[in-house]
Amino acid sequence: MMPKQNKAMETLTRINKRMAELGLCSRREADELIKAGQVRVNGKKAKLGQSVSSGDTIDIVASQAPKQYLAYYKGRGIITHSPAAGETDIATRLKADYGLEGVYPLGRLDKDSEGLMLLTDDGRLTAPLLDPENNIEKTYEVWVDKPLTGAFLQKLEHGVNIEGYTTKPATAVRKSDQRFTLTITEGKKHQIRRMCAALGYQVQSLKRIQIANIELGQLKPNQYRKLSPSEQKELFARLKLN
């Protein structure tokens, strides 16, 4: 007879790491959800920093308070998550400027880039929004260091090899001699900068102007607005959420 597995011998993982591995949310988002009392482990309220095993069931539950869904203009130089010494992240800026707490960014935008971020306290949006298999479109306005060519834009659209990975098909639209928009459905680290560099161009400025149906619009750096009911409804439909 095979000996029973000793549960104490199972490998344990911090809950925020496990939630990230399961694609539920990022580690930071997991911590925020746990603080808000919205995470259950085997039906019991999770504790910040607790350890879980692969056999434990982790659920995100809805809060009784109304959820917040915001469009935010991340300014250049602002960090999305986990700032180092001397840096400022979105959460710190929101609290300082507006006294706003409890929401977190969905996804990332690198320090030298600017533009649209979606902020929420609804953990259900993270996985479907960031999963590249869902083909959620994100549009960027890109300025490069030299005049555009038709061949360059076509290569961006058909896929670019960046260190062994070929990017998915995209849509590139010329706006001026050195400016274009690029719509992609994935989000590899520094993807657009790396795509352009692979084709001999250097990005001078990068601004995200749309995520799914949500547009940056007239927002200025470090301003935010609430999504309208119609924007929320369409966004939820695209993410296949009730």
What are the C-alpha distances in Å from 30 to residues 16, 129, 210?
5, 16, 25
| Residues 228 and 110 reside in one and the same domain | yes
What percent of the chain lies above the pLDDT cut of 70?
A: 94
Residues 6+ apart with CB under 8 A from 5: none
- The answer to whether 56 is a known catalytic residue is no
| Residues 148 and 201 reside in one and the same domain | yes
The neighbour count for residue 1, using CB atoms within 10 Å, is: 3
Residue 4, pLDDT above cutoff 60: no
Mean pLDDT (whole number) for 160-188:
96
Residue 63, pLDDT above cutoff 80: no
Decide if 22 is inside a domain.
Answer: yes
Decide if 5 is inside a domain.
Answer: no
Decide if 168 is inside a domain.
Answer: yes
CATH number for the domain harbouring residue 163: 3.30.70.1560
The predicted model scores a pTM of 0.77
Mean pLDDT (whole number) for 184-193:
93
The catalytic residue among 110, 112, 121, 145 is 110
